[in-house]
Structure 1
């Protein structure tokens, strides 16, 4: 198998992916695996940190924060320092539950040794001797393959005591999530890993100072980590030369919806939305027209036709009013109702709210109620003002974490770009995407016309 493997410098993350039968330890090494970890062990942790910083690697989980800078917030201590903590931790966030996103699964199932090697490099750099892969509970095949790769790494002294004859020791564990979207937030993930209720923590202190079990902890996305072996093996200049813009390296982009070729593609960072949608996803299915898309999973703002020539990098997408997020396109066509699509997403977020803060706990189900009323043809024009106020009520700085602000991004942008669709539901009690529902919606509207719809935040009767 290894003899058939060729290195692709433009697709470092996916060049060895084999979903049918991932590379064994021997084949992975023969293909060039664990060379990055060898380079890391030949340098001091400080030197490796500088390499990662200077590479320009940014987080691929959604935030786009510089990876080396994030690591630099972990307190560094000299050997024998009495103030040094007795342990630090590294956690790979593999709890991939963002709707429309499935890039990490490709890496977890297709080349598990790559993540194992990456975690060795990251843990060595920050001085952690224990590391965890926090895995989405439904990823059963990934759990099996990761454990096989970990076992092989232990057998070949890449994990365990004094790996490869060095003074460094590391243990690596797979932890399967119980299944909550909120665990994508790093401090909620840490609480879950400790066996506690999965709710985000107040910051500060940040995990880099006080994280898992109160010790310094780094939480990185799977795709972010998987860049490390290639940066260490091939160098900073190679990594920066992959992309033609300020965001170095490659990125795994995806597309789902009614496109001809839904899937995943590793590309140099910065292809335009149009290139991903038409050149790779094949454009819309026959008989359908493009209306809009969410560029980075469910918790990003809609972009429309006028934005299709925008490069898919962090800064460019932000300039047109959305976020790169996970890089997974959710595509809306002209035969699907944007009101129904936003309602479907908001139901997901309302279900996944941890319930800790009032704006999210009460705001998301309230938005579901108002959207349901509109979608069923029972809405009023005032409901649009209510939805706009809810978007402000749940915006950044007003909630305990980023779940609620992310939940309203598709809603607030849909109100902007698909305003006429909302009016169609309100003024005509129907949806022109499905005319056969007109009579039914009119009947529903008449049935509920005399009923009072209360929101979770409405005053109780008599108050």
Structure 2
């Protein structure tokens, strides 16, 4: 997979003024190591933060810039940082980087970690300074072996240069950073499940409150941020709030740029750093090049498998959280997937729900039993053995597993594409109902666990 395709027909020139995340990338796709990174103004923001800014000023700058989480939830980063306790007597605090990138169709964090590992380290260093955290962990998806190797080397380079460890830049501030590879669980993308896994426990989400800012890793205050989120911090500190806000398109309520992409049977699948507020049509036509010859766009997901399907007429929506919400779903990770006209939606949803069912932690009943139930019904419909009332049962499950009905956000994300697929392509589901089947009341068809 090519991770360095950043412009249509190579006509987009990346610069520090317009592409804060990607301007340092090498054209050959190799990693940017410490000497080259510093030659490209690397760690200048960290030096500024340590020399010229009070810790609370760093937090306020990130808050004023409007930086929001890039992992999918979109929570304001500065607000999250502000939840960390002010009590100076609490001298043990942790900063966690959520690099457990297991959302299907999403690979943005992988590119940053493999090719710009020092950008993430600098972002974490500045964040640690702001949050008064003395130890950090990069919780990395276990399958990202190249990223693990590159991050480990970059951490050692930073230590040798006095940018990690004791008395960083002569400030008296200490910060240790560790790369921790996970065992392979989608649920670790949820921050409290990640914390449990880091502690050596089963990766189940925790009850909130208390939130990690109060009780996190080993009971201590903890802040968890996504890779791309942390990689935005150096540019904000170096170039300021007004510049950062100016990057977004008019009409966007989200500030800065975003790594966006398109996969599927498009002519130019790839990943690009674009301003918030570009339209889905620009992303699809100008960057991804539209569909390959012989294929037609049937529908698309704007940001990973846990977002709802949209139709071709929704491509004019602006790519930011509020813009995508206007057409009925979420921005998610911002990496879209094109579904072509040869795909049967029932088969696609059965495949998705099998994944989400397998990745459930099993803690709460709606998710543990509801997702396998949806798989059982979808498999029957896919094989032409569906019963009258099965579609209504699936829609009932979409409601019972929706936001606020389960312990964490896993199940709501899992059923969002199911609900939208039935909404837009109900006839494909109806085609799988056996013509002689008797009507079954909604939610009355039993689930056989393991069937």
- Cα shift at 1:239: 0.4
Corresponding residue number in structure 1 for 2:248 = 243
Q: Structure 2: which 5+ runs fail to align?
A: 1-12, 438-444
Q: Structure 1: which 5+ runs fail to align?
A: 79-83, 430-444, 446-452, 459-463
- Cα shift at 1:380: 2.0
1:145 and 2:155 aligned: no
Corresponding residue number in structure 2 for 1:442 = none
Corresponding residue number in structure 2 for 1:202 = 207
1:154 and 2:173 aligned: no
The residue correspondences of 1:57-72 to structure 2 (distance < 5 A) are: 57-72=67-82
Corresponding residue number in structure 2 for 1:41 = 50
| Cα shift readout 1:365-393 (whole Å, capped 9, x = no counterpart) | 00000000001110123100110111111
Match for residue 135 of structure 2 among 130, 133, 136: 130
**Aligned pairs, number:** 428
What TM-score results when the alignment is normalised by the length of structure 2? Answer: 0.92
**CA 1:417/1:382 → structure 2, altered by over 3 Å: closer, same or farther?**
same
Corresponding residue number in structure 2 for 1:9 = 17
- Cα shift at 1:191: 0.2
| Cα shift readout 1:113-170 (whole Å, capped 9, x = no counterpart) | 0000000011111110000000000000000000111000000000010101111110
**CA 1:423/1:169 → structure 2, altered by over 3 Å: closer, same or farther?**
same
Corresponding residue number in structure 1 for 2:32 = 23
The residue correspondences of 1:201-350 to structure 2 (distance < 5 A) are: 201-244=206-249, 245-350=252-357
Asked if the contact 1:378/1:426 (under 8 Å) is kept, the reply is yes
- After TM superposition, the structure 1 stretch with the greater mean CA deviation from structure 2, 271-280 or 348-357, is 271-280
Corresponding residue number in structure 2 for 1:437 = none
| Cα shift readout 1:220-276 (whole Å, capped 9, x = no counterpart) | 000000000011111111100111222110000011111111110100111111111
Please say which structure displays the higher CA radius of gyration: 1
Secondary structure at 1:132 match in 2:
strand
- Cα shift at 1:35: 0.8
Alignment RMSD, CA only?
Answer: 1.8
Asked if the contact 1:6/1:31 (under 8 Å) is kept, the reply is no
Secondary structure at 1:246 match in 2:
coil
- Cα shift at 1:85: 2.0
| Cα shift readout 1:171-211 (whole Å, capped 9, x = no counterpart) | 00000000000000000000000000000000000001110
Corresponding residue number in structure 1 for 2:8 = none
Corresponding residue number in structure 2 for 1:356 = 363
Asked if the contact 1:332/1:338 (under 8 Å) is kept, the reply is no
Secondary structure at 1:426 match in 2:
coil
Asked if the contact 1:8/1:15 (under 8 Å) is kept, the reply is yes
Distance of 2:446 and 2:330 partners within structure 1: 34
- After TM superposition, the structure 1 stretch with the greater mean CA deviation from structure 2, 5-14 or 385-394, is 5-14
Corresponding residue number in structure 2 for 1:422 = 429
Corresponding residue number in structure 1 for 2:97 = 92
Secondary structure at 1:308 match in 2:
helix
**CA 1:6/1:253 → structure 2, altered by over 3 Å: closer, same or farther?**
closer
